[in-house]
Structure 1
Amino acid sequence: MVFSSSLSHLAMLVSLSANTVLAAPRPSSPQSLSMNLKRRAPEARSADNIGNWAQAHKLNVEAKYRKTASSVEKRNSGQNLVVNQKADSSFFGSLAVGTPPVAYDVILDTGSADLWLASSECAASACDGVPTFKSSDSSTFQNKSTEFSITYGSGAAAGSLGEDVVQMAGFSVSNQVFGVCDQVSDGLLNSPVSGLLGLAFQTIASSGASPLWETLASSGAWDQPLMTFQLTRFNNDSKATDLEPGGTFTMGTTNTSLYTGDIDYNDIPDNDESYWLQTVSAITSQGNAITISSGSSALAAIDTGTTLIGGPADAVAEIYSNIPNSEAGTGQLDGYYIYPCSTTVNVTMAFGGKSWAISNADFQAEQLNSNTCMGAFFSLDTGDNAPSWIVGDTFLKNVYSVFRYNPASVGFAELSSEALAMNGVNAAVPSATIGSAAATVSATAGARDANNGAASFHSLSTGPVLSLLVITLTILFSSRLV
Structure 2
Amino acid sequence: MFFAVFLHVLAFAFLVVGRTLAPRNVPLLRRAVGDNSTSSGIASLALDKSSGSYYTVLKAGDSYFRVALDTGSSDLWLISSACTSSQCSKVPKYPLAYKSSTFQAVNNNQTEFSASYGDGTGVSGFVAREMVTVANITLKDQAVGVIDSSNVTLDSDVSGLLGLGFPRLSSMSESVTNSSPFFSQLAQQGKLEYPLFGLSLNRFDNGSLTLGAVDASVVRDVNQISWHPVVEFSPFGMESQESSYLQWVTPLAGFGTNGTTLSPNPSYPEITNNASLALLDVGLNGIYGPYSDVSRLFEAMDGARLVDSEGGLWAVPCDTKQNMTFTFGEQTIVLQPSDYFLGRTSGSPNLCISWPAAQSPSADGVDWHIGTPFLRTVYSVYSYGINNVEAPVIGFYPVTNSTTAQADEENLSSILTTVKFTPPNSLLATPTDTILPYTFNASVAAPTTGLVSTGLATSTYSPIFQAWTTVRSAIPTIAPSYAVFTDSSGAVVTSTPSIAAVTLGSPPGWTGPNGAGRSSPAPIVVTVAILFAALGQWIFCFIV
**Normalized against structure 1, the TM-score is what?**
0.70
1:373 aligns with 2:387: no
Structure 2 CA distance for partners of 1:202 and 1:330, relative to 1, 3 Å = same
- Aligned letter for 2:257? S
> Aligned equivalents of 1:95 and 1:194: distance in 2?
10
The structural deviation recorded for 1:414 is 2.3
- Aligned letter for 2:263? T
The structural deviation recorded for 1:212 is 0.5
- Aligned letter for 1:279? P
Q: Which residue number in structure 1 is paired with residue 128 of structure 2?
A: 162
- Aligned letter for 1:409? V
Q: Which residue number in structure 2 is paired with residue 204 of structure 1?
A: 169
The structural deviation recorded for 1:247 is 1.3
SS of residue matched to 2:187: helix
Question: Aligned to 2:286, which of 308, 316, 338?
Answer: 308
- Aligned letter for 1:360? P
The structural deviation recorded for 1:175 is 0.6
The structural deviation recorded for 1:269 is 2.5
Q: Which residue number in structure 2 is paired with residue 135 of structure 1?
A: 96
1:118 aligns with 2:79: yes
SS of residue matched to 1:203: helix
The structural deviation recorded for 1:415 is 2.0
- Aligned letter for 1:269? V
Q: Which residue number in structure 2 is paired with residue 195 of structure 1?
A: 160
- Aligned letter for 2:188? S
The structural deviation recorded for 1:472 is 6.3
Question: Aligned to 1:353, which of 318, 324, 330?
Answer: 330
After TM superposition, list the pairs within 5 Å mapping 1:294-443 onto structure 2.
294=266, 295=269, 296=272, 298-330=276-308, 334-369=311-346, 370-406=349-385, 407-415=391-399
The structural deviation recorded for 1:121 is 0.8
The structural deviation recorded for 1:166 is 0.5
The structural deviation recorded for 1:89 is 1.7
After TM superposition, list the pairs within 5 Å mapping 1:161-310 onto structure 2.
161-187=127-153, 189-208=154-173, 209-234=179-204, 244=205, 246-261=206-221, 262-270=224-232, 272-294=244-266, 295=269, 296=272, 298-310=276-288
Structure 2 CA distance for partners of 1:182 and 1:387, relative to 1, 3 Å = same
Q: Deviations over 1:449-471 (max 9, x none)?
A: xx977389899xxxxxxx99948
SS of residue matched to 2:334: strand
- Aligned letter for 1:8? G
> Aligned equivalents of 2:17 and 2:201: distance in 1?
19
CA contact (8 A) 2:28 2:41 kept: no
Structure 1: gaps (5+ residues): 21-30, 42-85, 235-243, 418-422, 425-450, 460-466
1:89 aligns with 2:59: no
**Normalized against structure 2, the TM-score is what?**
0.62
**Alignment: residue pair count:** 373
Structure 2 CA distance for partners of 1:453 and 1:335, relative to 1, 3 Å = farther
The structural deviation recorded for 1:15 is 3.3
Q: Which residue number in structure 1 is paired with residue 68 of structure 2?
A: 107
Q: Deviations over 1:327-346 (max 9, x none)?
A: 11227x63111121111231
- Aligned letter for 2:356? F
State, as a whole percentage, how many aligned pairs show the same letter. 28
> Aligned equivalents of 1:326 and 1:416: distance in 2?
25
The structural deviation recorded for 1:90 is 1.1
Q: Which has the larger radius of gyration?
A: 2
CA contact (8 A) 1:253 1:471 kept: no
Greater RCO, 1 or 2 (C-alpha within 8 Å, sep 6+): 1
> Aligned equivalents of 2:40 and 2:193: distance in 1?
12
Structure 2 CA distance for partners of 1:457 and 1:190, relative to 1, 3 Å = farther
CA contact (8 A) 1:121 1:182 kept: yes
Structure 2 CA distance for partners of 1:171 and 1:128, relative to 1, 3 Å = same
Structure 2 CA distance for partners of 1:13 and 1:127, relative to 1, 3 Å = farther
CA contact (8 A) 1:117 1:195 kept: yes
Q: Which residue number in structure 1 is paired with residue 529 of structure 2?
A: none
